[in-house]
């Protein structure tokens, strides 16, 4: 027999409606607990415009008459405790709308859901897992800007597959993925969205269950185990998070109680026609509680180390992806979504107040100012922003035949004009290797050898450019075809010489990056970077320095984006002394031609490139080299 009332905190209810309950997942949803000595589940749901709400499931033959929920007085919250319901039982809410229509909805706060194509929520107690990452949590540093950050972006369903193309479970992935990522020298993995979603082809970016880890790969405890093992290997875990829009499947959030509840009531603002989704109403306080609580939930419950906020531009702009006349300006006549910007500021203030050591990164593709600046100085409060401008310019540049690159030299250098306006991540993500854009390797011009040489040179430049780094899976060994989400990466390619050598190059480059403080310690201002020469467009060569906080830590970077070897190429250097080539993308073990600078290079007193001294070096074809000052 159902028990109509089960006390919930009036303060929690008040804060939820105020938009300040940042752990509302402890209030709403299905919670296994004991009331008056009886074990059962308390169901709580927000449906303010419903006439009636009933809990239905296998336990009552999907007939809700015996399990009618009671509206909490003065609130849009419905509540019911049902004894005897247990972990693993499936359920939905049967909602009678104001018009008398009866609809079935999954629980917005459910912690688990049925495997697609089934759509019911699953009662799940998340308190059973014993974490083993105390050491990792104690090591996490607040000064993330001055630490190496090298992210490996992963789609769990296609990184590897098992027999008969079966997806690997979270636990199977835990035996393979963290070990590989650590061996390759990455500091973090970024997992494409793992919130429950109905359509595989959305890659998780169109969710129905924001609090439910997708059941495609296992249970919540299985995912916790994967995160735990990553932490054992000292690999941080970032998840993609989508607070801007959600899918319109009937069992999901859209028209939840028969009215626009989670989405805008204004159809023009609610409909995201470009993606076929609905936009969250970011001016509604209960929606703010729902979303910010969800960000905290991933950090609290799954020990996630960061979130990458997807499609921030869709949150910030009223006219994003819309035709003229299909949007209404804000009260000041502009195209900025004031509610969206306020939501993002509040999100970041709450997250960093509670978890100062986490990463909150914005995938933001426009010139909106101060995205990664603190909110107290007028910024949005993220600690990093994806540098989409750099990515677009450089991929365009690299696809140009080297003969014509000299006429496009600005694409190579323009990013340095704004490199320190934000705390940037330089992303080479999944979006760049799908939908006809070609894989990273296949973007490169030239014959077979030149494709690999171009990519190695590009990666060397990318690693030395100010900003943290992100690379999509498969790009480290030269996946030739575009990414396919329904099958494994082509791991067999690693057995062929050039692909294996590219993988080894990326491994060595990653570890070099982690060991070389000048490549990451001062990423956010000009103190960590100095041009030597940016104007040799005729030969498509650039040369610059990266510097650490310590004056002794300095690296000289020279990039040659043509297939011509330059012998006795003179570069300016800031001081006398002895230098040595410490890394070269053209080394033979990486598949290169073997052009290199052997032994010790002595600086000459000949001024060059506005520097007091200079060196003559051999500059390999389609290559990036690093030089370092050494003791005599």
Residue 486: exposure state from Cβ atoms within 10 A (0-12, 13-18, ≥19)? exposed
Cα distance between residue 181 and residue 144, in whole Å: 19
Q: Which two tokens stand for residue 148?
A: 């190496």
The answer to whether 310 is a known catalytic residue is yes
Q: Are 132 and 232 in contact (CB under 8 A)?
A: yes
Topology at the third CATH level for domain 10-122: Immunoglobulin-like (2.60.40)
d(CA 436, CA 399): 14
| Residue whose structure tokens are 């290079």 | 601
Pick the catalytic residue from 286, 363, 422, 516. Answer: 363
Catalytic residue among 89, 310, 422, 586: 310
Instruction: Specify the DSSP element, H or E, that contains 90.
Output: strand 90-96
Please report where in the chains the tokens 């610059």 appear, as a residue.
Answer: 544
H or E segment to which residue 503 belongs: helix 497-515
User: What are the tokens at 102?
Assistant: 């009866």
User: What is 526-630's CATH superfamily?
Assistant: Golgi alpha-mannosidase II (2.60.40.1180)
What residues does each domain of the chain span?
10-122, 153-386, 526-630
How far apart are alpha carbons 436 and 432 in whole angstroms? 9
From 359, 208, 252, 234, select the one nearest 298 (Cα to Cα).
Answer: 359
Over residues 464-487, the pLDDT tens digits come to 999 999 999 999 999 999 999 999
pLDDT at 632: 65
Six-digit token pair at 346?
A: 């509040």
The DSSP line for 315-384 is HHBTTTT--TTSS---TTSSSB-HHHHHHHHHHHHHHHHH-TT-EEEE---S--TTTTS-GGGTS---SE
Give the separation between CA 122 and CA 287, rounded to whole angstroms: 22
Alpha helices in 355-478 (DSSP H): 388-399, 409-413, 440-443, 448-464
Is 3.20.20.80 the CATH number for 153-386?
Answer: yes
> For the chain (length 632 residues), average pLDDT per consecutive 10?
62 95 97 92 97 96 95 93 95 97 98 97 96 92 86 98 96 98 98 96 96 98 98 97 96 97 94 94 97 98 97 96 91 96 98 95 96 97 97 98 97 97 97 96 98 98 98 98 96 97 98 97 95 97 96 92 97 94 98 96 94 96 96 72
Contact 208, 251 (CB under 8 A): yes
Identical fold between 10-122 and 526-630: yes
Indicate the pTM of the whole model.
Answer: 0.96
**Strand (E) or helix (H) holding 136:** helix 134-139
């Amino acid at each position: 027999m159902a028990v109509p009332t089960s006390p919930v905190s009036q303060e929690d209810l008040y804060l939820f409606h105020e938009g300040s309950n940042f752990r509302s997942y402890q209030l709403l949803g299905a919670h296994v607990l004991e009331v008056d000595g009886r074990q059962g589940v308390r169901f709580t749901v927000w449906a303010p415009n419903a006439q009636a709400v009933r809990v239905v499931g296998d336990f009552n033959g999907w007939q809700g008459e015996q399990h009618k929920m009671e509206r909490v007085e003065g609130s849009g919250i419905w509540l019911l405790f049902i004894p005897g319901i247990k972990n693993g039982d499936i359920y939905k809410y049967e909602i009678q709308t104001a018009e008398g229509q009866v609809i079935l909805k999954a629980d917005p706060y459910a912690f688990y859901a049925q495997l697609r194509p089934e759509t019911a929520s699953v009662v799940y107690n998340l308190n059973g897992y014993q974490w083993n990452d105390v050491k990792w949590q104690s090591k996490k540093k607040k000064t993330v800007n001055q630490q190496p950050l090298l992210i490996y972006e992963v789609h769990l369903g296609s990184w590897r597959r098992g027999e008969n193309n079966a997806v690997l479970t979270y636990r199977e992935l835990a035996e393979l993925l963290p070990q590989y990522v650590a061996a390759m020298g990455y500091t973090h993995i970024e997992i494409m969205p793992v919130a429950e979603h109905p359509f595989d082809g959305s890659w998780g970016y169109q969710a129905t269950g924001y609090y439910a880890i997708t059941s495609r790969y296992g249970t919540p405890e299985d995912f916790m185990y994967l995160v735990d093992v990553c932490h054992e290997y000292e690999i941080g875990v970032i998840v993609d998070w989508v607070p801007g829009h959600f899918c319109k499947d009937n069992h999901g959030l859209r028209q939840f109680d028969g009215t626009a509840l989670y989405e805008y009531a204004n159809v023009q603002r609610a409909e995201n026609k470009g993606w076929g989704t609905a936009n969250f109403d970011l001016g509604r306080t209960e929606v703010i509680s729902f979303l910010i609580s969800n960000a905290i939930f991933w950090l609290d419950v799954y020990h996630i180390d960061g979130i990458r906020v997807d499609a921030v531009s869709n949150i910030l702009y009223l006219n994003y992806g819309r035709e003229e006349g299909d949007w209404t300006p804000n009260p000041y006549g502009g195209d900025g979504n004031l509610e969206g910007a306020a939501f993002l500021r509040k999100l970041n203030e709450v997250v960093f107040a509670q978890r100062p050591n986490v990463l909150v990164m914005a995938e933001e593709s426009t010139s909106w100012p101060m995205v990664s600046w603190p909110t107290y100085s007028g910024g949005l409060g993220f600690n990093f922003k994806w540098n989409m401008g750099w990515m677009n310019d450089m991929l365009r540049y690299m696809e140009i035949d080297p003969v014509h690159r000299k006429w496009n030299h600005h694409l190579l250098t323009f990013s340095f004009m704004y490199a320190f306006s934000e705390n940037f991540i330089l992303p080479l993500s999944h979006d760049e290797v799908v939908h006809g854009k070609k894989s990273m390797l296949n973007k490169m011009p030239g014959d077979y050898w030149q494709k690999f040489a171009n990519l190695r040179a590009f990666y060397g430049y990318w690693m030395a450019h100010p900003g943290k780094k992100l690379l999509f899976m498969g790009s480290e060994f030269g996946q030739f075809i575009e990414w396919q989400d329904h099958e494994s990466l082509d791991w067999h390619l690693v057995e062929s010489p050039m692909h294996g050598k590219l993988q080894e190059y990326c491994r060595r480059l990653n570890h070099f990056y982690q060991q070389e403080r000048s490549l990451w310690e001062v990423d956010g201002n000009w103190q960590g970077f100095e041009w030597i020469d940016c104007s040799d467009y005729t030969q498509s060569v650039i040369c610059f320095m990266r510097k650490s906080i310590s004056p002794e830590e300095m690296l000289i970077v020279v990039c040659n984006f043509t297939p011509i070897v330059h012998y006795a190429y003179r570069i300016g250097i800031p001081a006398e002394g002895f230098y040595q080539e410490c890394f070269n993308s053209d080394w033979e073990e990486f598949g290169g031609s073997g052009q290199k600078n052997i032994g010790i290079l002595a600086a000459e007193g000949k001024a060059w490139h506005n520097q007091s001294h200079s060196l003559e070096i051999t500059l390999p074809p389609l290559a990036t080299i690093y030089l370092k000052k050494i003791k005599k």
